[in-house]
A = this chain, B = another copy of it.
Amino acid sequence: MRKSALLALLLVSGVYSKDGSDKDLLEKARQFFSPLPKSFPSEENPITPEKVKLGRLLFFERRLSVNDMISCATCHAVEYYYASPAPKQMGALKLQPRHAPTVLNSAGQFVQHWIGNRKDVEDQALQSLTGPPALGNPSRESAEEKLKSIPAYVELFKKAFPKDKEPITAENIAKAIGAFERTLVTPSRFDEFLKGNTKALTEEEKKGLKTFIEVGCVSCHNGTLVGGTMYQKFGIYEPYWKYTKSESIDEGRYAVTKKEEDKYVFKVPPLRNVAMTPPYFPDGSVTSLEEAVWIMGKVQLGKDLSKQQVRYIVAFLKSLTGRLPEEARKPPILPP
């Protein structure tokens, strides 16, 4: 009798979940999400160990920048889960227009960059070679020339692109970096859950997942990456800058398309590793995840989420923190 009374109490208070409701939640979750793959393959740029090895070196190679000061890893830093801790990071020649998000799992997105003006990770890498807020080289050729002057790279490009007569090209630099990035996958306990182990998440995290689905976050943040599958207007119910600490108003995808309906439209960012990659929003204006979640409720869903709802959602979001692949935990030592 006492035992069953306790059980009833736990059920009512929500501390104890019956296996049945866990299964319901799993089933529901599987409608929206799927576990991470081992890598994000590409037909145009098959992942090979030689390309990945070279791409990892190039990712950390500051000599790829005009002034030897900036590498991909400057804005996508190991110690910050391959994101930038600065709201906007300085590139080789210019401040970046938006926050540099993590590249972990980013190859799985439908497009790259906050406003979708990069097709895939290879396109992102290629254009970064000459972008002033990125590596800032005056031309693709000058980036190629710098690598050609380092003997170790001549060898490594030959191995990675054995069919090419002149393997050190900007396109191959981008392919190698892209191949490396396609391996940056960070499965977490949420993936175990999705695969059927309902004990992989704590009760609080499951409540968070349930809340995340029920209040409507999931209508945009879905798929393998819990985001990265679509564009959406930032500020559906109210202008986002009413709540963020934005210093200026970013018109988002309008800059690309010049269509009125794309004003304030951004790519929905993936939420994988979100707890490890503050600051938040396109301008990195908010550093607290709790605050960011509450603002999203307000401007995207027209809801004033309670402290407890926010706490639950944040608990769930923390379960999306995965472990870096071992090779990604350590920067390579670069050839002198």
Closest to A278 in B: B336
Q: Do B80 and A334 have beta carbons less than 8 Å apart? A: yes
Closest chain B CB from A37 CB (angstroms): 23
Given contacts A79-B334, A331-B79, A333-B276, contact A68 B86 (CB under 8 A): yes
| In the complex, A275 has a CB within 8 A of chain B | yes
Within 8 A of B (CB), among A311-336: 324, 329-334, 336
Closest chain B CB from A254 CB (angstroms): 28
| In the complex, A90 has a CB within 8 A of chain B | yes
Q: Which of A59-67, A107-115, A258-266 binds B?
A: A59-67
| In the complex, A277 has a CB within 8 A of chain B | yes
Q: Do B329 and A330 have beta carbons less than 8 Å apart? A: yes
Q: Do B331 and A277 have beta carbons less than 8 Å apart? A: no
Hey, which chain B residues are within 8 Å of A84, CB to CB?
A: 68
- The quantity of this chain's copies bound in the complex is 2
| In the complex, A131 has a CB within 8 A of chain B | no
Hey, which chain B residues are within 8 Å of A67, CB to CB?
A: 86, 90
A86 to B65, CA, bound (A): 10
Q: Do A330 and B333 have beta carbons less than 8 Å apart? A: no
Q: Do B336 and A275 have beta carbons less than 8 Å apart? A: yes
Closest to A150 in B: B287
Q: Do B90 and A69 have beta carbons less than 8 Å apart? A: yes
Q: Do B69 and A89 have beta carbons less than 8 Å apart? A: yes
Q: Do B275 and A78 have beta carbons less than 8 Å apart? A: no
Hey, which chain B residues are within 8 Å of A77, CB to CB?
A: 62, 331
Q: Do B69 and A86 have beta carbons less than 8 Å apart? A: yes
| In the complex, A270 has a CB within 8 A of chain B | no
| In the complex, A85 has a CB within 8 A of chain B | yes
| In the complex, A87 has a CB within 8 A of chain B | yes
A86 to B334, CA, bound (A): 14
Closest to A87 in B: B68
Q: List 19 A-B contacts (CB under 8 A).
A: A62-B77, A62-B85, A63-B85, A67-B86, A68-B84, A68-B87, A69-B90, A77-B331, A78-B333, A79-B331, A79-B332, A79-B333, A79-B334, A85-B334, A90-B90, A275-B336, A276-B333, A276-B336, A330-B330
Closest 6 CB pairs of A and B: A68-B86, A79-B331, A60-B79, A330-B330, A69-B86, A68-B85
Apart from A60-B79, A62-B77, A276-B333, what 7 extra A-B contacts exist at CB < 8 Å? A62-B85, A69-B86, A73-B79, A77-B331, A79-B332, A277-B336, A324-B333
A interface vs B, CB < 8 Å? 60, 62-63, 67-69, 73-74, 77-81, 84-87, 89-90, 275-278, 289, 324, 329-334, 336
